[in-house]
Amino acid sequence: MQSANNVMVLYTGGTIGMQASANGLAPASGFEARMREQLADAHVPTWRFQEMAPLIDSANMTPAYWQRLRTAVIDALDAGCDAVLILHGTDTLAYSAAAMSFQLLGLPVPLVFTGSMLPAGVPDSDAWENVSGALAALGAGLAPGVHLHFHGALLAPTACAKIRSFGRNPFAALKRQGGVARVASLPTALDYRQPKTLASVGVLPLVPGIGAAQLDGLIDSGIHGLILECFGSGTGPSDNPEFLASLQRAQDKGIAVVAITQCHEGGVELDIYEAGSRLRGVGVLSGGGMTREAAFGKLNALLGAGLDHAQVRRLVEANLCGELG
């Protein structure tokens, strides 16, 4: 545990700092002054502030923005900060927190994500309790790496999701598990200081009657990785030869295809049912207990690190930061 004394606050926008506009709530500058006024007498670590550009509604978050955040975190460390707090909109906060866990593997200081469901300053807003709570948690001491702090609770970012669109407690840890979580040594390319290129990762939820055409559309769109949201413990339309042939084509093209479960609890174990083992037979990898958010962030990081196809396949099924359950 490391007690923070000099925190960098990175403000990305989101509901927490939004103000009314002609078209509804929109991201707004000027949050640092409001934050300094509100926390003037709070017992929190010393902090400095950086406004990211552009400020965004988190619905507009992208993998390219994650790379800017990675650079900003490294710059903060180089400037002498011993912790980072990222203020972020809640809609994609779990995606960003999971993604940054993989973008910042080996980070030697704690980093916390938080935000709010209501803008700072409106009645019953949760903004200041979340900001002060996150700063206080950093001051009390947290392990190096990425954390999510919301409504007084710390959550592991590779094992949680936003499950409610209302209230003060929108995030929950998911009871995900499955498969064997092998541990692997990290290639140098995955170290937090190593630059990453942008990767294109698709997501395809399976539904009854899904055919090869939808899968082919994704495969031919130029993606480098695909998350297959399967039924149950990792089953799909295994009696559809065209669908299986498309998955084999993805494997032949070097596209990493990872199976995760659509269920809220449990995870993927591809060898339990024939309908799962046939997916394994055409190159589909087991995502174990990974959430969609964790699988998406992990594939973006692995593929963006310039690893070869064999390394990517090996590390998908290895536990890098608690994502496999």
Per-residue pLDDT tens, the chain, 325 aa: give them: 889 999 999 999 999 999 988 888 899 999 999 999 999 999 999 999 999 999 999 999 999 999 999 999 999 999 999 999 999 999 999 999 999 999 999 999 999 999 999 999 999 999 999 999 999 999 999 999 999 999 999 999 999 999 999 999 999 999 988 655 666 678 999 999 999 999 999 999 999 999 999 999 999 999 999 999 999 999 999 999 999 999 999 999 999 999 999 999 999 999 888 888 999 999 999 999 999 999 999 999 999 999 999 999 999 999 999 998 6
Q: How far apart, in whole angstroms, are the C-alpha atoms of residue 15 and residue 91? A: 9
Cα gap 17→34, rounded to integer Å: 9
Q: How many residues does the chain have?
A: 325
pLDDT at residue number 275: 86
Domain limit, last residue, from 132, 155, 173: 173
Residues identified as active-site: 15, 90
Whether 152 is in a domain gets the answer yes
Q: Among 173, 195, 218, where does a domain finish?
A: 173
Q: What is the CATH number of the domain that holds 149?
A: 3.40.50.1170
* Phi, then psi, of 34 in degrees rounded to 5: -65, -40
Pairing label, strands 160-162, 171-173: antiparallel
The pLDDT value given to residue 180: 59
Shared domain check, 140 and 187: no
What residue numbers bound the domain in which 31 lies?
Answer: 6-173
- Same structural domain, 24 and 146: yes
Domain count, the chain: 2
Looking at residue 244, which CATH number applies to its domain?
3.40.50.40
Any domain includes 35: yes
Q: Is residue 324 in a domain?
A: no
Sign of the four-CA dihedral 28, 34, 36, 39: negative
34 with 148, same domain: the answer is yes
71: in domain: yes
| Residues 252 and 226 placed together within one structural domain of the fold | yes
pTM: 0.96
**Nearest by Cα to 97 from 71, 120, 83, 115:** 115
Question: How many other C-beta atoms are found inside a 10 Å radius of the C-beta of residue 274?
Answer: 12
Q: Which of 113, 140, 173 is the last residue of a domain?
A: 173
Contact of 94 with 161, CB cutoff 8 Å: yes
The verdict on 160 and 20 lying in the same domain is: yes
Choose among 65, 118, 57, 66: nearest CA to 91.
57
